[in-house]
Every structure is written in structure tokens, then in C-alpha cells.
């Protein structure tokens, strides 16, 4: 930040002089804009050149994208294959179950946001753009007015959940504590509740999970299950009992050492004899086992980042070993590990697309492969894959935003 | 207490998921290699599990509503109709090419109907038996519509676009050496051969016919190109069944042969009902499993009842109808190719049904 010229004679007599940054803010907007541009865009001859080149490239890229999206691409491969891409072989008569599931998830997101985050204009913008994109997609090609209505109902529930949750005062009142607990329980139970909605009373069977539905069922199991596996593993690896630490280390190194594709083969051909059950459940087990090994290492990193004084102080005030771990060590270690844990969560979200490669199950990307095998859409492979990428991105970006909120609420990086 | 209740709920949901899967899995508990009576297994389960491809235009892909469609799919439906009497009782399993034979031997599917070439190695060392070939694929050629190449002899001195480092390239070389013709190969990776052909840097574009047709169909002006009636390599695509189950293999083979015989005899999905009630001759009566002029119904001893071919015909029609519905729209015409009936110059020659 270079100092701006502040000629003394320009200052009117008797005027209160403010600190420099406020003083700068007093100057006319045009002046400030000019100075900002001079400092940031045209600082020198080389800088000017770079700015011009970057600007030209940016314009070119933007024009290219806009031209592609609105004129170059033929999105009919996506609009006519909405059902295939999102639900595939899910029973058509049970479509309402999917929408109720969506509504429940949206409501939970709204409640969580209201409870633990503050209103942010950028989040609203993201929700607005993503919703507009999805409604556009559902309205495109007609015959899906109901989908749009369902989606709007789900959005309304999300805002409703937010509005109610945000009114709960942020203090240590009993109401607040109870609300926090309900919020956490809701998130932990989100997947079981959604599965119940989808399956109970003559709904879908596990082989019906297909397309995007399969991705959103597998990924949370991988993430939550992974965390459940990882915490004892991380503690065990740091244990002073050799047998426990060796076992945990062996597990982590064995699982991390082989690619996920290999473990999916295990789910297909070996777990069948070991635990049986349907392929979806076996895949869930493999995803949780696989993610758990990575997450255990991140949590161990969090444990090691803590000063040993924390442990000693807790023991000194008379907390038991278990209480120390539960109340002092784990909360801090988990908080430190949030960024890599979320990275792993996003990674496993994208890795759900691997199931189509090996297993006789098809998720979003696998169904896109199939959509472009339809005779009339053979030429539209780029459109189909761009769409799949956008959908993966929307979910991954949402996860990333949520994690940033949680980090801020937990004060990660502040100490 | 509350935690216990939560745990219970989670456990219940996963148990539900597991049970839901078992409904579809049937023999989930059997595990390992499955041997034995597949027909009985299918009847007990009430559904045929058919391993198919879901990414090959014309042969196996999924419709916008999630259902499966294509040439290989039609044979799954025909066999389901033959065994169970209902062509809707098929559970399609999208089998990747890397796991297809293992899926078959592990009992995850009863039948592979997914553009699988019969090779000696597969037949001998994999746990797969091949039933009657449904489609004779092979390396083909495509030219620009205004080209003056109509036959192999016309290709002397031509420039030919071909995928680099493939058996296609070797087949091409062998073929031209055999014919004593010269040519200039223009090889490239991925879609390069196709792009170079479209840009007229070569006169001829060669690849496996089914894939070639799909690529040409993907071009904006697919009418500007013409296939040569020429096939230079052998790719017989056949349904696969588990080893050591001849009864099941017989049913599968004879559904295929039955549909070919039906075409030869003129039985179609349109006239099968009328002809089953009043067969025009003994051959049709035998094929449909009905008595002819007061005679007796011949039971040839299949593991399914004698009317199984009749049911398959009612579900999907004869071989020609299947071909016209699924492969023809890709631009692979049938007349004059290997997949025509032997009476029309092809090699579809089904043994007599008697």
C-alpha cells in the first residue's frame, strides 16, 4: 500500500483530520477509482502490459464460455436425460420420495446455517445462481413443472429452517444448548432419515439407487463412516500399548496403500463372501474403511499439533484419561483437522464416480456415458460431461463453503 | 439411552438396505463360484440377471427414462420371455468389460449379452461358455458418398485413416498384402482418424463396423458417407453363460437360433399369435411348440417348456425385426453382410428346429 499524496493546502481549514484510510475514503469516488487502477492495474510499463494481456484473455475466455453455453452447445442431451442422469432406475412412481428427501436435506442445511453461521451475501448469491441453473434445467424441455414446484418447496423449507434457527439467541441459554444438540442430531441422522424416506413401505430397494442419487447416498456414508472409523484409529495409533498402535498403523498403511479401485473390486468379489448383503452396502463399507484410513492420519496430525500442556493441565485438574480426551484433546484436535478432513470429504465425493468403472452400479458420470450412447446424442458428449462436471462442482463447492463457515465459527486459524 | 435409540435407528436403516438388496440378489448368500442349474435359479428368483453394456450405441445403452435398450438388450428380453414368460422380468446389470467374466462366474449375472467376441483364450481359460453368435462384427470401411471406391479392388493406392497401434491397423496391413494392393496408411490417436477422414485427408476410414457406424452417425452430415460391403476381420459377438451348464446354454443358443429360424420361416411378432393358433406348416408348428392339424406337440426336451421360442417371438420378434429396430438406425445395413440369412448371402444358418 503506497501512501497517497495528501497535499496540506487542499485540506479545508477547521476540518477534522481522520486517520489515513478514512481520509482516503473521503475523496471523490472517481479519484479513488483512478488511484486504485493506477496502483493495481497500471503500476509500470510491464504491469500495464500484463494487465492488458490478462484482460484480453479474460474477455476471450468469457466470450468463449458465453458463446458455448448459449449458442455453441446443444443441451438437449441433458434436458431429455434428466431422469436418467439423476435417478436412473429409481422407480418412477416413487419420485415423490426423492423430492421429500431433497426437502429434508435442504431444511437441515437451512437449520444448520441459521444455527451456526451468519447471513452472507455471497452464500445467497451462490444459492440463487445454483437454484436458477437447476430450475432452468428442469423447466427446459417442458413436462417437468412438478419438479420445479417440488424444488421451490424444498428451497422454501430451507429458508424457513434458516429463519427459525437464526432467531435462537447466540448465548449459553438452555434453549441455545438444546438447539445445538438438535442441530447436530439432525445432521448425524440426515442420511438414515433420507434412506428411510426412500425405502420404507414399498419404496426403492438398494439396487434402485442409480445416477446422482447413488452419489449422494454413497458420499455421506463414506464421510461420516470414515470419521467414525478414523477417530479411534487416530487415538489408537498414538497409544502407548504397542499392540494397539501397531494394529492401527497396519490398518492405515494397508488401506492407504492400495487404490480405491482395488478396494471396490474387494467390495464386489470378496466382501460378498465375508459380510454378504447388497452391493450398495458393501460399497458403503469399503468407502468408509478407505476414507477412515486417510482421516485417521489427519486427526493424528491434529492430535500432535496440540501442546502437551493441554493434556497435563487437564490431568492436573483431576480429569480422568477419558474425560481429558473427550473434553479437552479431541475437540481441539478435530478443530485443527477440519481443513484436511473437508479436503478428504470433497475428494471422496468425487471418487464416488469411480463406482461406475468397476461395479455393476451406475452413478451420475456412468449414466452420462450411457446418455451419449443414445443414437440422437452421440455427437453431444462434451455437453453431457460439462454438465456432470458442473453438478459435481456445485456439490463440492457447497461443501467447501460450509466448511469455511464451520472453521470461522470454530475459530480455526485464530490461534 | 437416547444414544442407544439413535444407534438402533441407524442399524435398522442399514439392515433395511441390506434386506432390500437381498430381494434383488437372491443368491447373495451363495457367494463364490456358482455352478449348476441356472434355469432353476432364474425361475426361483423370478428374474433373469443379464450382464450388458450401457455405453455402446445400438447395442446396449440406456433410454432417458433409465430403461435399457439395444441389440444385446433385446436378446436378454427374448430369453427372459422364453424362461419366465415375461420380457419385463430382466434385471440389467451394467457389466464393465474388465469385470464381466468375474461377474458371470460369481453368479452376479446369469448371462452376458454385451458385445463379447468369442476367442479361444476366453473359451478355454475363462469360466465362460459361448452360446450361438448373435452378431458377426468385423473391421469395415467407410468412404465419402461421392467417392468412386465401391469395393476392395477400388482401394488400390488409396490413403486410409486408421487408429494407431491397434489390431485394426495390423488387419489392414494383412488384408492389403494378401490382396496385393498398395495403400498409404494415415494413422492417428483417438478421434484423429475420423477428423482426418472428414477433412478429406484420406479416402477411406476403417475400424470395427459397429464402432465405425456410431462414429459416422455422430457426424452432422452422416449421409455424406457410405459404407463398403466389406468386412476383413472376425469379431463374432455371442452371449456368454457359465461353464458346466449345458441345459442353460442350450436354452440361450436355441432362443437365438429360434429367432433366426423364425425369420427364415416368416414368423414375426405380428403374426405369431395367428400362426400359433393355426400354424401354416409343421416347421412353424414345431418352432412355436404347438400341435399341427390335430397332431401332438413335440417336446424336444429343453429345460423349459416347448413354447419358449413362441414367447420370445411375441416379446421381441424375429432376428430381422430386432436388427431393424436397433442396429439399422445406426446406418449398418444388413443386406449383403454376414448378418443376413444364409438364403440372402449372409452366414446366419440356424440348425433345423426338430
3-state secondary structure B116-163: CECCHHHHHHCCEEECCCCEEECEEEEEECCCCCCCHHHHCCCEEEEE
Scanning B82-141 for CB atoms below 8 A from A yields 91, 93-96, 98-99, 102-103, 106, 108-109
On whether any CB of chain A is under 8 Å from the CB of B80, the answer is no
Q: What is the pLDDT along chain A (415 residues), one digit of tens a residue?
A: 455 555 555 555 666 777 877 777 777 888 888 888 888 888 888 989 999 999 999 999 999 999 998 888 888 888 889 889 999 889 988 888 999 999 999 999 888 888 887 778 888 898 898 888 888 777 765 556 778 888 899 999 999 999 998 888 888 888 888 888 888 888 888 888 999 999 988 888 888 899 999 999 999 999 999 999 999 999 999 888 999 999 999 999 999 999 999 999 888 888 887 887 888 999 999 999 999 999 999 999 999 998 889 989 999 999 998 899 888 898 889 888 988 999 999 999 999 999 988 888 999 999 999 998 888 888 788 899 999 999 999 999 988 888 887 787 776 555 4
**Contact criterion met (CB < 8 Å) for B66 and A195:** no
**Is-same-fold flag (B38-136+236-344; B139-233)?**
yes
**Sheet containing B204-208: order of strands:** B184-188, B159-163, B204-208, B139-144, B225-227
Crossing angle for the helix pair B246-265 and B71-84, to the nearest 10 degrees: 110
On whether any CB of chain B is under 8 Å from the CB of A378, the answer is yes
> What residues have CB less than 8 Å from A174, skipping those under 6 apart?
none
For CA atoms B162, B168, B173, B176, the dihedral sign is negative
Is residue A211 within a helix (H) or strand (E), and if so which, with residue range? helix A211-237
ipTM of this predicted structure? 0.79
Residues A246, A238: Cα–Cα separation, whole Å: 10
CATH class, A205-415 region: mainly alpha
Task: Tell me the chain B residues in contact with residue A95 when contact means C-beta distances shorter than 8 Å.
Answer: none
Tell me: the pLDDT tens digits for B149-205? 998 889 989 999 998 877 788 889 999 999 999 999 998 877 788 888 988 999 999
pLDDT value for A414: 53
Spatial contact of A365 and A218, defined as CB atoms under 8 Å apart: no
Phi, psi of B32 (to 5 degrees): 60, -160
Spatial contact of B103 and B91, defined as CB atoms under 8 Å apart: no
Among B22, B51, B64, select the one facing A83 at the smallest CB separation: B64
Instruction: Please say if the pLDDT value at position B262 is more than 60.
Output: yes
Task: Tell me the chain A residues in contact with residue B105 when contact means C-beta distances shorter than 8 Å.
Answer: none
- Mutating which of A137, A360, A365, A369 best tests the B interface, going by the most B Cβ atoms within 10 A? A360
On whether any CB of chain B is under 8 Å from the CB of A50, the answer is no
Phi, psi of A145 (to 5 degrees): -60, -35
Scanning B205-244 for CB atoms below 8 A from A yields 214, 217-220
Chain B residue closest to A80 (CA)?
A: B64
**Sheet containing B55-56: order of strands:** B55-56, B60-62, B68-69
**Contact criterion met (CB < 8 Å) for A371 and B62:** yes
pLDDT value for A142: 56
**Contact criterion met (CB < 8 Å) for B94 and A84:** no
Written as one string, the DSSP assignment of A184-208 is: HHHHHHHHHHHHHHHHTTT---GGG
Spatial contact of B339 and B348, defined as CB atoms under 8 Å apart: yes
Give the CA-trace dihedral at A198, A200, A201, A206, to 10 degrees: 70
Q: How many helices (H) and strands (E) does chain B have?
A: 13, 15
Residues A256, A297: Cα–Cα separation, whole Å: 10
Chain B residue closest to A270 (CA)?
A: B32
Phi, psi of B186 (to 5 degrees): -125, 95
Tell me: the pLDDT tens digits for B4-31? 444 454 454 444 444 443 333 333 334 4
On whether any CB of chain B is under 8 Å from the CB of A44, the answer is no
Q: Count Cβ–Cβ pairs < 8 Å, chain A vs chain B.
A: 150
Right CATH number for B38-136+236-344 from 2.40.50.140, 3.40.50.880, 3.40.50.720, 3.40.190.10? 3.40.190.10
Spatial contact of A213 and A98, defined as CB atoms under 8 Å apart: yes
Task: Tell me the chain B residues in contact with residue A184 when contact means C-beta distances shorter than 8 Å.
Answer: none
Spatial contact of A199 and A110, defined as CB atoms under 8 Å apart: no
> What are the residue ranges spanned by the domains of chain B?
38-136+236-344, 139-233
- Mutating which of A375, A384, A385 best tests the B interface, going by the most B Cβ atoms within 10 A? A375
Task: Tell me the chain B residues in contact with residue A204 when contact means C-beta distances shorter than 8 Å.
Answer: 20
Instruction: Indicate the SS3 state at residue B184.
Output: strand
> What are the residue ranges spanned by the domains of chain A?
77-201, 205-415
CATH class, B139-233 region: alpha beta
> What residues have CB less than 8 Å from B336, skipping those under 6 apart?
B229, B345, B346
Strands B135-137 and B235-237 turn out to be antiparallel
Chain A residue closest to B60 (CA)?
A: A373
Task: Tell me the chain B residues in contact with residue A181 when contact means C-beta distances shorter than 8 Å.
Answer: none
Scanning A110-139 for CB atoms below 8 A from B yields none
Amino acid at each position: 500500500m503506497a501512501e497517497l499524496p495528501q497535499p496540506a493546502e487542499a485540506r479545508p481549514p477547521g476540518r477534522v483530520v481522520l486517520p489515513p484510510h478514512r481520509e482516503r475514503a473521503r475523496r471523490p469516488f472517481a479519484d479513488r477509482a483512478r488511484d486504485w487502477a493506477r496502483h493495481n492495474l497500471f503500476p509500470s510499463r510491464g504491469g500495464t502490459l500484463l494487465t492488458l494481456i490478462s484482460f484480453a484473455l479474460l474477455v476471450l475466455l468469457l466470450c468463449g464460455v458465453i458463446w458455448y453455453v448459449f449458442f455453441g452447445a446443444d443441451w438437449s442431451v441433458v434436458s431429455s436425460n434428466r431422469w436418467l442422469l439423476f435417478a436412473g432406475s429409481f422407480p418412477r412412481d416413487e419420485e415423490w420420495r426423492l423430492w421429500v428427501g431433497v426437502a429434508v436435506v435442504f431444511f437441515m442445511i437451512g437449520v444448520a446455517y441459521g444455527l451456526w453461521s451468519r447471513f452472507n451475501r455471497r452464500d445467497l448469491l451462490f444459492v440463487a445462481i445454483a437454484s436458477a441453473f437447476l430450475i432452468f434445467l428442469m423447466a427446459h424441455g417442458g413436462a417437468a413443472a412438478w419438479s420445479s414446484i417440488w424444488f421451490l418447496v424444498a428451497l422454501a423449507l430451507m429458508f424457513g429452517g434458516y429463519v427459525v434457527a437464526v432467531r435462537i439467541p447466540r448465548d449459553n441459554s438452555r434453549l441455545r444448548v438444546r438447539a445445538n444438540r438438535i442441530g447436530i442430531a439432525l445432521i448425524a441422522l440426515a442420511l438414515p432419515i433420507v434412506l428411510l424416506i426412500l425405502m420404507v413401505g414399498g419404496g426403492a430397494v438398494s439396487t434402485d439407487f442409480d445416477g446422482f442419487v447413488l452419489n449422494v447416498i454413497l458420499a455421506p456414508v463414506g464421510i461420516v463412516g470414515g470419521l467414525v472409523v478414523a477417530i479411534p484409529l487416530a487415538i489408537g495409533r498414538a497409544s502407548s500399548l504397542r499392540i494397539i498402535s501397531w494394529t492401527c498403523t497396519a490398518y492405515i498403511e494397508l488401506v492407504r496403500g492400495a487404490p480405491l479401485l482395488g478396494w471396490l473390486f474387494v467390495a464386489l468379489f470378496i466382501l460378498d463372501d465375508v459380510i454378504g448383503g447388497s452391493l450398495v452396502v458393501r460399497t458403503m463399507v469399503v468407502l468408509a474403511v478407505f476414507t477412515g484410513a486417510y482421516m485417521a492420519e489427519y486427526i493424528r496430525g491434529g492430535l500432535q499439533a496440540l501442546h502437551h500442556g493441554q493434556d497435563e493441565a487437564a490431568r492436573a485438574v483431576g480429569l480422568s484419561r477419558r474425560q481429558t480426551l473427550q473434553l479437552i484433546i479431541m475437540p481441539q484436535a478435530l478443530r485443527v483437522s477440519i481443513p484436511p478432513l473437508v479436503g478428504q470429504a470433497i475428494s471422496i465425493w468425487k471418487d464416488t464416480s469411480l463406482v461406475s468403472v468397476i461395479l455393476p452400479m451406475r452413478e451420475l458420470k456412468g449414466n452420462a456415458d450411457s446418455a451419449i450412447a443414445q443414437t440422437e446424442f452421440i455427437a453431444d458428449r462434451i455437453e453431457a460431461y460439462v454438465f456432470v462436471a458442473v453438478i459435481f462442482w456445485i456439490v463440492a463447492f457447497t461443501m467447501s463453503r460450509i466448511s469455511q463457515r464451520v472453521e470461522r465459527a470454530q475459530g480455526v486459524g485464530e490461534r | 439411552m437416547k444414544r442407544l435409540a439413535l444407534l438402533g435407528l441407524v442399524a435398522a436403516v442399514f439392515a433395511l438396505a441390506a434386506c432390500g438388496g437381498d430381494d434383488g440378489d437372491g443368491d447373495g448368500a451363495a457367494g463364490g463360484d456358482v455352478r449348476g442349474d441356472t434355469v432353476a435359479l432364474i425361475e426361483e428368483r423370478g428374474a433373469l440377471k443379464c450382464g450388458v453394456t450401457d455405453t455402446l450405441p445400438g447395442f446396449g445403452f440406456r433410454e432417458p427414462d433409465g430403461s435399457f435398450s439395444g441389440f444385446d438388450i433385446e436378446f436378454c428380453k427374448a430369453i427372459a420371455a422364453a424362461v419366465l414368460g415375461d420380457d419385463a422380468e430382466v434385471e440389467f446389470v451394467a457389466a464393465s468389460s474388465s469385470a464381466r467374466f468375474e461377474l458371470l462366474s460369481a453368479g452376479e449375472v446369469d448371462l452376458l449379452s454385451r458385445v463379447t467376441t468369442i476367442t479361444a483364450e476366453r473359451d478355454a481359460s475363462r469360466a465362460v461358455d459361448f452360446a450361438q453368435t448373435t452378431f458377426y462384427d468385423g473391421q469395415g470401411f467407410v468412404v465419402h458418398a461421392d467417392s468412386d471406391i465401391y469395393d476392395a479392388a477400388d482401394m488400390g493406392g488409396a490413403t486410409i485413416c486408421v487408429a494407431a497401434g491397434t489390431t485394426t491397423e495390423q488387419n489392414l496391413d494383412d488384408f492389403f498384402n494378401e490382396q496385393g494392393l498398395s495403400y498409404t496408411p494415415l494413422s492417428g490417436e483417438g478421434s484423429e482418424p475420423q477428423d482426418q477422414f472428414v477433412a478429406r485427408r484420406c479416402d477411406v476410414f476403417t475400424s470395427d463396423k459397429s464402432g465405425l457406424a456410431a462414429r459416422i452417425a455422430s457426424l452432422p452430415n452422416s449421409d455424406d458417407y457410405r459404407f463398403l460391403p466389406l468386412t476383413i476381420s472376425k469379431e463374432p459377438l455371442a452371449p456368454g453363460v457359465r461353464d458346466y451348464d449345458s441345459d442353460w446354454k442350450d436354452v440361450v443358443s436355441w432362443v437365438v437360433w429360434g429367432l433366426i429360424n423364425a425369420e427364415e420361416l416368416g414368423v414375426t411378432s405380428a403374426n405369431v399369435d395367428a400362426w400359433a393358433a393355426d400354424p401354416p406348416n409343421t416347421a412353424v408348428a414345431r418352432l412355436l411348440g404347438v400341435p399341427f392339424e390335430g397332431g401332438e406337440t413335440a417336446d424336444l426336451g429343453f429345460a423349459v417348456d416347448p413354447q419358449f421360442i413362441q414367447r420370445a417371438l411375441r416379446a421381441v420378434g424375429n432376428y430381422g425385426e430386432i436388427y431393424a429396430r436397433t442396429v439399422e438406425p445406426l446406418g449398418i445395413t444388413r443386406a449383403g453382410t454376414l448378418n443376413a440369412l444364409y438364403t440372402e448371402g449372409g452366414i446366419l444358418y440356424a440348425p433345423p428346429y426338430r
